Structure 1
Amino acid sequence: MYKRFFLLFFTVILLGCKVASSAALPVIDSGDVLPDAKQSVVLKSVAEMVSRYNYKKVELNDSISGVIYNRYLKSLDGNHNYFLASDIKSFEPYKTLLDDDIKAGNLEHVFLMFNVYKKRYKEHINYALAQLNKNFDFNENDIFVYDRDSLPFIASQAEMDNQWAQRVKYDLLNLKLASTDMAKNKATLKKRYENLLSQSAKLVSTDVMQVFMAALTNAIDPHTNYFNPASAAAFNIDMSRSLEGIGATLASENEYITIKALTAGGPAIKSQQVDIGDRIIAVAQGKTGEFQEIIGWRNDNAVTLIRGAKGTIVRLKLLPKGKNASDKSKIVELVRDKIILQDQSVKKEIRTYNQNGKTVKIGIINVPAFYLDFNAYKAGDPNYKSTTRDVKLILDTLKNDKVDGVVMDLRQNGGGSLVEAVSLTGLFIKTGPVVQVRDTRDKVQVDDDEDPSISWTGPMAVLVDRFSASASEIFSGAIQDYGRGLIIGTQTYGKGTVQQVYDLDQIINPAIKEMLTSLANKNGIKPVGNTSKFGQLNLTVAKFYRISGGSTQHKGVTPDIIFPAIIPLDKYGEDTEPSALPYDMIKPSTYTKIDDFSTVIPQLRKLHEARMVTNPSYQYLSADIADFKKREGEKSTTLNEDKLKQQRDADEAKLLERNNLRRVALGLPPLKKGETRAKNEDLDFLKLEAGQILTDYIGLNKAN
């Protein structure tokens, strides 16, 4: 209690602001997580910077307070599994108080909500542990509702207990489908639940602060972010593009550590056994180490376990994307490596096509990121690594190979260096503007390609998807505006904003740091002064615009020839973010179009669509997308063992059959159940079709 009083008193004295009033607050338990004075200073500082300097001007008022409240509540219990309706009712006043709290640097209500969540979490997991002493009948026709985000919060403790009893039954049934040893299954589940309690007990104030600050900054816009010291270190490792591990981006989703992205050239993607969406359920060190289950773990703890020194072995137990917990997992052995994104090279391949009896050679260049070794560049190293340099070298080899056209594959390229986006565009045009940037003062800067040399003058296309973002959109948008090449694929992400990194240690007044240290030492609290880190703020400071005047923000780039959306457009992308900056336009730059595809695009679409009608791979892809949408809408599952097993077996058989039909369509032999495909097999028919579309264009162009 003394620490709580000191923090409130300190906030009033140091910041000169009144603590927002509310109903009587509950007595703090010994296990509660409490904020420190440093976090109050950070909160107030970030609020001031976001309000004054962010590109999107947002006033902290009751309206935005409600948005922040809803985001924070969702981050704590988005699936409505922990809070009772009475808890939510007690939080209601905070909807219009959080803006005042933020301005004052007051975290009292934020931490109160979290501590209630932590209490409920502990209660429900302990209840689940107690259920393991009971026997379950798996012949009943019970239904477990696992997706509750659109349902009201549970009103009574009895109803909550029933929900958790069904969850335990569901977890046990999943294990039972893999093993009939119920004693072993209960022991496994007991260990899992105990791990959840253990991870919950390890939560500290910086964790709470990070979650709330994400709710605050993302209520302003999706790319303004605060990073606490640990998160800032992880972010900067990512930005420096150097770490030792497996080359995967992980996130915690529904208590599973889920693979969200794979690093080109990393051990995970090289294995061809790890896919985006796979869930890691256990980790083992070396060839013989014991597996440690990580279901329910914090993401940072899981990352620590998975990362390791170059050359060491880590084994992952994976639950593949789209599989249920009852499905069989697979074990993947990976040798950790040094992942240096700057050293990821673009890659090439040559595909041959038949055009009216003549062979057409298409060079396909995969560009994983817009990378640049800034240190080597600044040091004057003539061999510094960059996307543009690597592409230029490949274009030279493709010219020697006498290819007829080039496809630039930018799928899942989330961007990178703006300088590289401009210089890469310059390889395909003589000179001229590439992108416009408007800052908070409405000042527009035009970034030009000033190098008159052109590395490729022949036919070209750019292949994009929903995860092509930022620099990828600048490049593809410029190519489209100039009429330099065809854009093929799906609508891009729509990330058209510029962020600047601010080190809060450089922003927060040193005098405040000294005062924090003095007061903390005087009151026996851990020092938080000059040697501490306050984290960093990534602030949105500008917006990208195409040379034709339209922003890449929100809308992204719309292809000339559209492919089916493998990545759900209504789930991923800037236009799915409620706080995203809108699309708008400014005055176009002065530029000269190189070509005009308006007359040929309808013909190319017609040829493409005619092929797709009879293309088996296209039909299977369409069926996969339809199945995904159907399963995405499912919110419950049967708890009847026979029915669930039949459903799982049918799904596995259907998946194997469809994959084999796809393989046969591409000229590959079918696989038997349990057999894995060869690592060098290429099942990417959309890439092949992009090359075919460019081949069609070459044919039509010659005919004209």
Structure 2
Amino acid sequence: MTIAERKMTRRIGLCRAMTAALLFSAPFGLQAKIDGSEVYEPVAPTIDQARANILIARQLQFTHFRDLGISNELSGDVFDAYLDYLDGQRIYLTQDDLKKFSQIRTQLGSALKTGQLQPGFDIYNVVQQRIIERLQFALGVIDEGIDKLDFSSDQSILLDRSEADWEADTKALDALWIKRLKNAVLAQRLNGSDDETITDNLTRRYEGQLKRAYQARSEDAFQAYMNAFTGMWDPHTSYFSPRTSENFNINMSLSLEGIGAVLQSDNEYTKVVRLVPGGPASQQGQLGPADRIVSVAQEGEKPVNVIGWRLDEVVDLIRGPRNSVVTLEVIPSSATDETLTETIAITRDEVKLEEQSASKDVIHLKGDGGTDYTVGVITIPTFYADFQAMQAGDPDYKSTTRDVRQLISELEADGVDGLVIDLRNNGGGALHEANDLVGLFIDEGPTVQIRNSNNTVQVLNDEDPSVAYDGPLVVLTNRMSASASEIFAGAIQDYGRGLVVGSQTFGKGTVQAVRPLNHGQLKITQSKFYRVSGGSTQHKGVIPDIEIPTRIDKTRIGEDALDHALPWDQIEAVPHTRYFDFSGIIDELRKRHEERFSSSPEFSLLQKEIDFLKEQRAQDSVSLNMDTRKSQHEQIEQTRLTIANARRELRGEEPFASLDELDDWQDQQAADLDKTDEELDFVIREGGQIMADMLKLDSQMASIDEPTQFAAQAQAQ
């Protein structure tokens, strides 16, 4: 098709879209020919889906941990959540559409009880219609030529419209979409693309989204509607369609083959939840939590834009043969603008158990007064166990606890004075391993409480009286430490067995079960974790005794950043030993840490990075003026280069001469999977320094006959 023919087709499509918009005076029974060839066929619910809806409603009301009835108030909340899912950035619907939906708002609750799905499907069909109209409009503007867009005015665009008002009418939406196009063109121009390339990129993006809109299925509407409904109870309760259920766990499928990343839908994007330790993405080093995937490219092929795609289809595209390369275009979590993307090439492979195994290191430190200390470091990427080998009776099966016990033995043979357990980025794993790992550091006793939806409480115990290590202990955590990591860190803190250092953990303190339906499956939250001191790990996570700032944005990552997350609460504590009371030395430990923080170039650089990221995240809009935007872009890039060169200076390395040199170096580092870091990162070293301070203070206190030495205290109790 020639450019002239394509433009004519666009114009026909736009006219028909406008005509269709005028014809549809009510959000029911839509059917429209949007361009010269495609027809949007409204989707309709099936009998199987209606039955599944009734079963889901019953399960939620009678078996979910949260006691929540289906009321008129809930009806309005489901309505809002459903619209947020379908049009979270408020770029498709108008206030006129919302007025037509107003009669449905209070009806959804009673309809969902009885399997009446048509109201939800009516909303879905209207949104699909509006998506098609918007994409046709955008493609029409592109065909007119992006050189006709004006970049000399002082216009700006809101980056996050999730809290904005819907535009009043179609004319206002047209103006918004022209701004969106300007923003996309500006970002690509600043990244060095010419107008021909930009036109091709945007055309392929919007044509791909348009194709997905035309291919909407009844199951898409049902899954979106049910997840808006189930999400009222908590963010981890969700409906799996039959196709998703065939693999059951998309997360597990990606964990074991492909790139080793756990993904989820986030409005029209696919978002990275976490990386699997030892997996290809984790080893490659560029992909991170909260990054959003824009396109996926197979080796030697053009990228496929996946905005608006279903999660299972994005997963299928990312999977592939071992040793093949998949290239992801992502919006980094730190990006201030969704058009600022990075390209990441990852070699597919399986995640091998040995690559997730615990490992050890030794650091040598000087404390006050010139005393030398040797500190052992054990890094635990995940709580793992080789269940197949265990069930087969293999006496040498691998597990977190068995491996850590062996590493402790080796470190004690090296004569370490203290131990640091690094749980940063450990997203959890096998619950019984967390229970057993606590047992390496305490005598017999409870490790975690599990409260069920019927309010019965189960207490897991360490029943092995042996202790693998009774010396001083520091546990490192960050925002990505979750679930089983929080159980271990919380127990160590409650027992007074060691200090928790780092940043507040994720706060994932719930347990889910998967229940079959007549049509698909329901993943439902049925219980909640509580520490032996009675407080839940849910929502709040574990608060460190000594805090170290983090680059991770806690407003975007963590349980308390999720809608309808179950709250923190507490139950009765269970009797447990208190091995050491840190209250006498904690203030001094914090003081010494802060003094090091204020004088350390590494900590200063970290704080500079954090402040820079906060400043970028605080921007709620960007300019659409070419000169202003270029100046802002150059300033951001120069700051990035300055920070990178400051870090190289600390390491005694030559600074980068340009941003291109920095980018080439980062690509080379990411591609080098065999690289080793000879020097442990400074957060681990700070954990060791806190350990050295602890040993010094403990010795001082013991010298005045205070019974506070770690070993003596443990034996006494």
**Normalised by the shorter chain, which TM-score bucket?**
0.7 to 0.9
For 2:683, give the aligned amino acid: L
Secondary structure at the aligned position of 1:349 is classed as strand
| Cα displacement string for residues 495-544 of structure 1 (whole angstroms, at most 9, x for unaligned residues) | 2222222122xxx5xxxxxxxxxxxxxxxxxxxxxxxxx22222222222
Give yes or no for the alignment of 1:272 onto 2:285.
yes
Matched-pair contact (CA < 8 Å) for 1:237–1:243: no
1:369 aligned counterpart, secondary structure: coil
Tell me the residue number matched to 1:11: none
Distance in 2 (CA, whole Å) between partners of 1:688 and 1:156 is: 58
The residue number in structure 1 matching 2:19 is: none
Alignment of 1:296-307 (within 5 A): 296-307=308-319
Counterparts of 1:225 and 1:237, CA distance in 2: 13
The 5 Å alignment of 1:218-257 reads 218-236=231-249, 238-239=251-252, 243-253=256-266, 255-257=268-270
Aligned to 1:680: 676
CA distance in 2, matches of 1:137, 1:556: 49
Counterpart in 1 of 2:58?
Answer: 48
Corresponding position of 2:348: 336
Indicate whether 1:539 and 2:524 are aligned.
yes
Structure 2 residue aligned with 1:83: 93
Match of 1:220, SS? coil
Task: Give the 5 Å matches for 1:515-526.
Answer: none
Distance apart, 1:99 and its partner CA: 1.0
Q: 1:55-92 CA distances to partner (integer Å, 9 max, x unpaired)?
A: 21111111111211111111111111110101111112
| Aligned partner (choices 123, 134, 138) of residue 124 of structure 1 | 134
Q: Which residue is equivalent to 1:625?
A: 610
Name whichever of 31-40 and 110-119 sits farther off.
31-40
1:689 aligns with 2:686: yes
Deviation at 1:561, TM superposition (A): 0.6
Query: Partner letter of residue 49 of structure 1?
Result: Q
Of 176, 193, 197, the residue aligned with 2:210 is 197
Instruction: Compute the displacement of 1:257 (Å).
Output: 4.3
Per-residue CA deviation, residues 404-445 of structure 1 (Å, 9 max, x unaligned), is: 221111122222222111101001112111111222332222
Contact 1:35–1:205, Cα closer than 8 Å, also in 2: yes
Alpha-carbon separation, structure 1, partners of 2:619 and 2:29: 41
1:366-410, CA deviations, whole angstroms, 9 ceiling, x for partnerless residues?
222222233332332222232112212222222222222211111
Q: 2:170 aligned with 1:154, yes or no?
A: no
In the alignment, the residues of structure 2 paired with residue 218 and residue 420 of structure 1 have an alpha-carbon distance, to the nearest angstrom, of: 30
Is structure 2 residue 493 aligned with structure 1 residue 497? no
**Counterparts of 2:160 and 2:251, CA distance in 1:** 32
For 1:71 and 1:299, locate their aligned partners in 2 and report how far apart those are by CA, in whole Å.
Answer: 18
Distance 1:468 1:332 in 2: 25
In the TM superposition, what whole-angstrom CA distance separates every residue of 1:11-32 from its partner, at most 9, and x where no partner exists? xxxxxxxxxxxx9762232511
1:466 matches 2:479: yes
Indicate conservation of the 8 Å contact 1:175/1:326, yes or no: no
Moved more, 217-226 or 65-74: 217-226
CA 1:201–1:440: 2 relative to 1, 3 Å: same
- The 1-side partners of 2:620 and 2:633 are apart by 16
Residue among 549, 561, 568 paired with 1:583: 568
Q: Does 1:26 align with 2:22?
A: no
State the 1:94 CA deviation. Answer: 2.3
2:153 alignment partner in structure 1: 140
For the Cα contact (< 8 Å) 1:174–1:326, is it kept in 2?
A: no
Counterpart code for 2:360: K
Match of 1:703 among 697, 700, 703: 700
| Residues 674-683 or 144-153, more deviating | 674-683
Deviation at 1:251, TM superposition (A): 4.2
Work out whether residues 648 and 655 of structure 2, in 8 Å CA contact, stay in contact via their aligned partners in 1.
Answer: yes
Q: Could you say what secondary structure the match of 2:471 adopts?
A: coil
1:589–1:379 Cα change, 3 Å: same
Contact 1:461 1:488 in 2 (8 A): yes
Q: How many residues align?
A: 653
Give the whole-Å Cα distance in 2 for the aligned partners of 1:502 and 1:475.
28
- Answering whether residue 538 of structure 2 is matched by residue 553 of structure 1, we say yes
Unaligned segments of structure 1, at least 5 residues: 1-22, 509-533
For 1:100, give the aligned amino acid: S
Instruction: Look up the SS of the partner of 2:582 in the other structure.
Output: coil
For residues 592 and 58 of structure 1, what CA distance do their matches in structure 2 show?
Answer: 37
Q: 1:182 to 1:443 in 2, by over 3 A?
A: closer
Judging changes above 3 Å, is the alpha-carbon distance between structure 1 residues 317 and 60 closer, same or farther for their aligned structure 2 residues? closer
> 1:520 matched to which residue of 2?
none
Amino acid at match of 1:152: D
Q: What are the within-5 Å matches in structure 2 for residues 530-679 of structure 1?
A: 534-673=519-658, 674-675=661-662, 676=665, 678=669, 679=675
Contact 2:290 2:557 in 1 (8 A): no
Higher mean alpha-carbon deviation, 295-304 vs 640-649, is at 295-304
SS in 1 for 2:577: coil
- In 2, Cα distance between the equivalents of 1:590 and 1:397? 33
Find the partner of 2:45 among 16, 35, 45.
35
State whether structure 2 residue 288 is matched by structure 1 residue 263.
no
Shift in Å, 1:617: 2.5
Structure 2: which amino acid aligns with 1:572?
I
1:387 corresponds to which letter in structure 2? Answer: T
Question: 31-40 or 333-342: which moved more?
Answer: 333-342
Bigger drift between 240-249 and 325-334 goes to: 325-334
Shift in alpha-carbon separation, 1:437–1:272, aligned structure 2, 3 A: closer
Determine if contact 1:343/1:385 at 8 Å carries over to the other structure: no
RMSD: 2.5
- Alpha-carbon distance, 1:234 to partner: 4.9
Confirm or deny that 1:386 pairs with 2:386: no
66 and 341 in structure 1: CA distance in 2 versus 1, 3 angstrom threshold: farther
User: In the alignment, what sits opposite 1:357?
Assistant: 370
Classify the secondary structure of the residue corresponding to 2:553: coil
Task: State the distance in 2 between where 1:206 and 1:326 align.
Answer: 29
Identify the range of structure 1 (24-33 vs 635-644) with the bigger mean alpha-carbon deviation: 24-33
CA contact (8 A) 2:254 2:319 kept: no
* Residues 449-469 of structure 1 deviation map (CA, whole Å, 9 limit, x = unaligned): 011221112111111122222
Deviations 1:255-293 (A, max 9, x none): 55443322211112212333334454443333x344444
- How far apart, in 2, do the equivalents of 1:180 and 1:274 lie? 23
User: What secondary structure, in the 3-state scheme, does the structure 1 residue paired with 2:249 have?
Assistant: helix
1:62 maps to 2:75: no
Q: 2:451 aligns with which of 438, 441, 447?
A: 438
| Alpha-carbon spacing, 1:551–1:251, altered in 2? closer, same or farther (3 Å) | closer
Give the Cα–Cα distance (whole angstroms) in 2 for the partners of residues 328 and 150 of structure 1.
Answer: 22
Contact 1:308/1:336 (8 A) holds in 2 = yes
SS of the aligned residue for 1:360 comes to: strand
Report the Cα distance in structure 2 between the residues aligned to 1:383 and 1:219, rounded to whole angstroms: 45
Q: Deviations over 1:547-569 (max 9, x none)?
A: 11222223221111112243333
Q: For 1:177-199, what per-residue CA distance to the aligned partner results, in whole angstroms no more than 9, with x for missing partners?
A: 33463233222221211111012
**Counterpart position of 1:422:** 435
Gaps of 5+ in 2: 1-24, 32-39, 670-674, 702-717
1:327–1:156 distance in 2 versus 1, CA, 3 Å: closer
For residue 660 of structure 1, report the CA deviation from its aligned partner: 1.9
The 8 Å contact of residues 431 and 452 in structure 1, kept in 2 or not, is answered as yes
CA distance in 2 between counterparts of 1:283 and 1:494 reads: 31
Amino acid at match of 2:508: K
Q: What letter matches 1:26 in structure 2?
A: F
* Residues 1:164 and 2:177 aligned together: yes
**Using a 3 Å threshold, how does the CA distance of structure 1 residues 615 and 477 change in structure 2: closer, same or farther?**
same
Query: Structure 1: how far apart are the matches of 2:342 and 2:81?
Result: 35
Query: What SS does structure 1 have at the residue aligned with 2:378?
Result: strand
Deviation (angstroms), 1:154:
0.5
CA shift digits 1:94-125 (9 cap, x unpaired): 22211111111111011111111101111011
TM-aligned CA distance change 1:68 to 1:609, over 3 Å: same
